[in-house]
Amino acid sequence: MASATGNGSVTFISKVQQQHPYLGITSNANFGDEGFLSTLVGVSLSHIHAQYDMVQPKFVMNQYSTFSKTKLVIMARLAIGYKLADHIAIRTFVTWRDTPVFKINSKENVIGKLIKLDNSFNIGLGLLLW
């Protein structure tokens, strides 16, 4: 494990948890023999939990910070699907979420007091059953 160095750098152990249950309005359009295009606009109840530990801080202070917040976030998704069989389709998609609304203060309120998120994008691959 790396340690603090003489040039002012610090070692962190960090982790991020995120959860985005969502509800949205979707629209579909068919193309080709088996393909379909799907869009979704909705909101997600997004929860972000982040924390870090300073392993060997240069200065003597609290080494642990936690950031946690839940917000409603606007989202949009574009998906392209392909029907494999009568009740099965495969799809791939890209999702955007308005996560810049997240500005989270540290619960411990010490070294790092604030984190901010930028826009987030997801890509995915999945199966549809009906």
Partner 1 sequence: MAANSRYINDSANFNASFYLGVDAIYSNMKFRTNYGSNIFAKATAGINGFVGYMFTDSFGWKWGTKPKRNEKKPRLLMVENMLQDG
Q: Which two tokens stand for residue 102?
A: 């997240």
Number of residues that bind partner 1 (CB under 8 A): 69
CB 2 → partner 1: shortest distance, Å?
A: 6
Q: Does 70 bind partner 1 (CB under 8 A)?
A: no
CB within 8 A of 64, min separation 6: which ones? 51, 52, 53, 54, 108
- 9 DSSP 8-state letter: -
Taking residues 33 to 62 in sequence order and writing x for each that binds partner 1 by CB under 8 A, - otherwise, the string is: xx-x-x-x-x-------x-x--x-------
Cα dist from 107 to 24, 60, 72, 114, whole Å: 32, 19, 20, 10
Q: Which residues bind partner 1 (CB under 8 A)?
A: 1-2, 5, 7-30, 33-34, 36, 38, 40, 42, 50, 52, 55, 67, 81, 83, 86-87, 89, 91, 93, 95, 97, 99, 103, 105, 111-130
